[in-house]
Structure 1
Amino acid sequence: MAQRRKSPAKRRSRPAPNLVIVESGTKAQTIKRYLGRDYDVLASVGHVRDLPKGNLGVDIENEFAPTYVVPRDKQKTVTQIRKAAAASDSVLLATDPDREGEAIAWHLMAAADLDEKKTSRVRFHEITESAVRDALNSPEPVDDRLVEAQQARRVLDRLVGFKISPILRRRIPGGSSAGRVQSVALRIVVDRERQRREFVLEEWWTVDGRFGDPGTGVAAFSARLYREGKELRLDAASAEALLDPLGQAEYQVTDRQQSDRRLRPQAPFTTASLQRAASNRLGLSPSQTMRIAQRLYEGVRVPGRGQIGLITYMRTDSVSVSGQALDAVRGYVRTELGEDFLPARPNSYKTRTRNAQEAHEAIRPTEVALSAAVLGEALDSDQRKLYDLIWRQFVASQMVPGTARRLALDVAAGTDSEHVFRVTASRVIEPGCLQVASYGPRISAEESDRFDYLSGRAVGDPIELLEIESQKHASEPPPRYTEAGLIKVLEDEGIGRPSTYAAIIRTLKDRQYVSSQRRVLEPTQVGEFVTDAMAEFFADIVDVAFTARMETELDRVASGELGWVDATGVFWERLDRDLTNAWENLKKPVADELLEEECPRCSRQLVKRLGRNGIFVGCSGFPECRFTRDLQDSGNGEEPTAVGEPCPDCGSDLVYKQGRFGRFIGCESYPDCRYTRQITEPTGVQCPDCGEGQLVVKKTRRGRTFYGCERYPACEYSTWQDPRQKPAQSAPPKTAKKSAKSEPGGAIVGECPRCGKELGVKRGRYGEFVGCSGFPGCRFTGKIADYVAAESSG
């Protein structure tokens, strides 16, 4: 009888002799793949200790000693790390290579009670096998100076938040809070908004002409009138007075100038420049950019390669690149693009950021041979766009400059040397770094055609003036900051650090201190109240120079020049003085003020209230009575006038309201329903596009009047021209060159093939031609015979 063989007993899995601790699960997976069985890799998933949420957590009288606690959701993680570390021969703290990562490593040692004798710190700036193994072979102790710099920042932020926020909430009901760096960023946004309000509009007129070859009737280019080398800016009457004499003249090319300029490559990305480029070129918010970059850094699964880190560490203010990376990218340019695109020596760049730490390399791909095209479906859409941006910036940074050529022609009447029409056009003649880069001059097809035309013209060539007109212009207020623009200001002023830019903007939006439409930041009324209160009582906190100096002090702590307690003490001394003054002089809140008015619905007293969009007037009987009106309304105790229509969003009545930009229509259930629309003034003119609606008067966001179809968005027709104005009478032949806009209603012969607007018959020196009614926005012209023939043959 055959004996049954006993199955071998299952071996108990023994822990690996080495334990590596990182922040994220993705990073842990990537590193584990490189290290094999001798290493276990665990993730802390961010910080494991912090100041308590419910109280200050800082003992001011005891040298600002912080009290750290392990949050409930991190206790299981800490226990797991403690057990794994006790069973391992060595523990390697491989958190991110910056102050925040250094602090996480320090907190891990304390929270998990790690044995200092077998615990060390390893740092790498890219998650590749060679970088990770090199770091493991060069362990170091935790850098206490970096830990103290981070601790000082955390304590300063806590002091500001906990000490100032109660004052703000007393002054501005509704949960207002302060932040050390966010407050100065908010002030920058608010100051720009107030500059816009104080802006004084200036208007001027220019004289523009459309020119072409004699006898063709086809416009080849438009040019603007210059005098003594400068664009001629006039008042309306002076510009109009020039049209007839200039319209009678014969013209020729009087000067031709050609110049070349070098288009130098840009440095590889820092955190701030990546966030700006991703916002401007890809439409990504700073938070989105950092989230995607984090994933690219920690590792992406690539077919045939496994999970690999694709970019270097994404929180950096340095533009430096390692010698190994320089050799790799120069080899790639030489092989893939050719020697003509490779500079004789590597391009070098200097970091221009104020207070730059330059602790890391610039953001670059870890393997330059892995382009976005090579990676293909390994990346999702957003990852592919951002990686391609980083890859192109890095490769282009080690290429030769491109060259752009600019042509400028002056056209003048033979008898008038004072007035000159000038036209320019540019073209890239040597691509250089632009062969790869995602930046560079954007040259339209129209400019390219114009460059070709100007290239064939010489001094003395006759040119025909086909049209002449005066154009009205107006100065514009300084633009609001985009998210990218605010980051640029913070970087230039030395406020915050690469790791904080995205968080600053996110906090301002989350607290509804700013609104963001298409990444353009506009302060809310609450945000302006907060800034005013901070400026009144805490001028240092919202002072750009003071905040930048504090960043310098924190850098000194990181370098060991200054103790963190000393740096915190100097800051607290000034803050404590301001706190005492604020509490002694605190005024009544900006809202919750009873008004000397009765509610028109229930006769209770009306009160000022503060909502997400600023102060409004509401009934003190809320929520039983929900009457509200805007603060700017007359306050005569009368109910707003009803429009006679239901709100399309909630079904309540629509009423006429008064806002800071004039009267508008809104829902009576505000603030519960925020439906609004413009009040439109009918013109009595039928829409020429759809033929169903009539044209109404509208205004842009900047207050400029235009005219559009009342059926919008079903019909999108719009025009700057007032349709109620009667067209001028025909001018005599010699002055018929005035703008087609003021020409008598010439026959409409079709639709513009470029922009879709009407094509009309126009008159020039040598007869009639066809031009777009959208001039000067669209400058299409053609021979009238082509269109008349087409019409008659239809």
Structure 2
Amino acid sequence: MSIAQKLYEGIDIGTETTGLISYMRTDSVRLSDEFVGKTLNYIEKNYGKEYIGYVKTSKKKENVQDAHEAIRPTDINKTPEKMKEYLTSDEYKLYKLIYIRTLASLMKDAKTLATTIILDNNDYKFKASGSVLTFDGYLKVYKDYEDKEDKNLPDLDKYNTSVLVSTKIESDEHYTKPKSRYTEAKLIKELEELGIGRPSTYVKIIDTLKLRDYVKVIDKKFVPTEIGIATTRKLQESFSNLINVTYTANMENDLDKIAEGKKVWYDLLNEFWKEFEPQVKEAFTSMEKVEAKKTGEKCPECGSDMVIRNGKFGEFEACSNYPTCKYIKKKEKEVKEIIPCPNCKGTIIEKKTKKGKIFYGCNNYPKCNFASWDKPLIEKCPECGGVLVEKKDKIKCLSCDYEK
């Protein structure tokens, strides 16, 4: 969302600073007549009349924030390739996605034929099912984003033959797979379909999951932590009527009705509190505490068992005799070594400022004061042998003017 914010607020494109996309905190699917007209002209000019589509309309979802248009490029003539030199790698990828998806939405549908090919070979039948593309339509621009699982078969009519010669046969064994874990994009899509949250709150929801250590992100997928699983289980035991997607979606609708003046906030809050207060009191007395896991070590100060506890910054090891003993085991800091220091015999390592900003400095500091905000690379400058660093989407030398 922060990258989208930059594209919306304005990018310096040499001759001016201009916003490249429309307002992004919206779930509207509406496009202005002016923009549609300009885009259809652009499609005809660059791809031909046969690619001109039409504005697709659908039933509006309840409580859609329709004060703004759908997220779209502000100028269809500012193509991703024209803007690439002014954008970082991530900005370019996001702008390209928004641009291509908008353009594709106003192009004609692709045409395919559902096809089944049956091959006979010595009384054995081999069957392949898929589709044959007869007109690419919107895929002319959107092919990089299409579903890779769709099977496209060749058009055998082109070859005017009834005999196929196999050059290779592969045998694949397939098993039923469990539902894949959520990525950030899939989770947002699920929230949208369930009617939970708004575009302006999705980032906050995901940040909360991470900050409270309910999930870890592994290979861009959310994996629940022990504290996340335990929290969910305990809350569902005592607040099953609240900890469910139906209740949350209904609450979203009630809040919208308050905003529209169709409901009184005090009545809704009073109704909620009458049911919630006794549940909280019951939970305090009946909810079983989760036992902390022992580490197998003894506290060096009082001899009690050391256990693993969870705080807002994640897991830590502490004495089980808390609050009588407040011993906490210090975590050994993981040192990320980057390259040998060019100024001394030390090593350049990843460091953090007091505010948490990453920089790179020598482990012999203060004897050696080498420091860089940009990450140094192992390879040396081909022109002067100096240190190369990553700077956005470029590589530059710290000692000379070399860059690539």
Tell me whether the two structures share a fold, i.e. TM-score over 0.5. Answer: yes
- Match for 1:610: what amino acid? R
* 1:586–1:625 Cα change, 3 Å: closer
Structure 2 counterparts to residues 718-737 of structure 1, below 5 A: none
Aligned residues of 2:216 and 2:225 also touching (Cα < 8 A): yes
Paired position in structure 2 for 1:519:
220
Structure 1 position 384, deviation (Å) = 1.9
Matched, 1:331 2:37: no
* 1:471–1:329 Cα change, 3 Å: closer
Equivalent residue pairs, number: 329
Paired position in structure 1 for 2:141:
436
Paired position in structure 1 for 2:77:
369
- Match for 1:435: what amino acid? K
- Match for 1:331: what amino acid? N
Aligned partners of 1:469, 1:316: CA distance in 2, in Å? 47
Structure 2 counterparts to residues 57-136 of structure 1, below 5 A: none
- SS of 1:432's partner is coil
Aligned residues of 1:301 and 1:308 also touching (Cα < 8 A): yes
- Match for 2:291: what amino acid? A
Structure 1 position 471, deviation (Å) = 4.9
Matched, 1:489 2:190: yes
- SS of 1:428's partner is strand
Structure 1 position 406, deviation (Å) = 5.2
- Match for 1:456: what amino acid? Y
Aligned residues of 2:254 and 2:263 also touching (Cα < 8 A): yes
- Match for 1:515: what amino acid? K
Aligned partners of 1:599, 1:432: CA distance in 2, in Å? 69
- Match for 1:330: what amino acid? L
- Match for 1:364: what amino acid? R
Matched, 1:532 2:233: yes
Aligned residues of 2:216 and 2:224 also touching (Cα < 8 A): yes
Aligned partners of 1:567, 1:301: CA distance in 2, in Å? 48
Aligned partners of 1:545, 1:405: CA distance in 2, in Å? 40
- SS of 1:404's partner is strand
Aligned partners of 1:586, 1:407: CA distance in 2, in Å? 58
Aligned partners of 1:300, 1:553: CA distance in 2, in Å? 39
Matched, 1:552 2:262: no
Paired position in structure 1 for 2:101:
393
Paired position in structure 1 for 2:30:
320
Q: Which runs of 5+ in 2 are unaligned?
A: 336-404
* 1:401–1:586 Cα change, 3 Å: closer
- Match for 1:572: what amino acid? W
Q: Pick from 68, 74, 78 the counterpart of residue 360 of structure 1.
A: 68
* 1:387–1:615 Cα change, 3 Å: closer
Matched, 1:580 2:291: no
Identity %: 33
Q: Pick from 591, 595, 600 the counterpart of residue 291 of structure 2.
A: 591
- SS of 1:436's partner is helix
Structure 1 position 389, deviation (Å) = 1.3
Matched, 1:571 2:276: no
- SS of 1:410's partner is strand
Structure 2 counterparts to residues 277-426 of structure 1, below 5 A: 290-304=1-15, 306-343=16-53, 346-350=54-58, 353=61, 355-405=63-113, 407-413=115-121, 416=123, 420-424=125-129, 426=131
Aligned residues of 2:318 and 2:327 also touching (Cα < 8 A): no
Structure 1 position 532, deviation (Å) = 1.4
Paired position in structure 2 for 1:103:
none
Structure 1 position 600, deviation (Å) = 11
Aligned residues of 1:316 and 1:358 also touching (Cα < 8 A): yes
Aligned partners of 2:131, 2:139: CA distance in 1, in Å? 15
**What's the Cα RMSD here?**
3.8
Structure 1 position 571, deviation (Å) = 2.3
TM-score (norm: length of structure 2): 0.69
Aligned partners of 1:535, 1:425: CA distance in 2, in Å? 44
* 1:432–1:624 Cα change, 3 Å: closer
Aligned partners of 2:293, 2:56: CA distance in 1, in Å? 61
- Match for 1:350: what amino acid? S
Aligned residues of 1:317 and 1:353 also touching (Cα < 8 A): no
Aligned partners of 1:580, 1:457: CA distance in 2, in Å? 79
- Match for 1:420: what amino acid? K
Residue-by-residue CA offset, 1:405-451 (whole Å, 9 max, x unaligned): 4543212346x4xx52113465533221122225335599xx88x72
* 1:342–1:572 Cα change, 3 Å: same
Paired position in structure 2 for 1:776:
none
The structure showing larger relative contact order (alpha-carbon pairs under 8 Å, at least 6 residues apart) is 1
- SS of 2:145's partner is coil
TM-score (norm: length of structure 1): 0.37
Aligned partners of 1:543, 1:515: CA distance in 2, in Å? 22
Aligned residues of 1:292 and 1:382 also touching (Cα < 8 A): yes
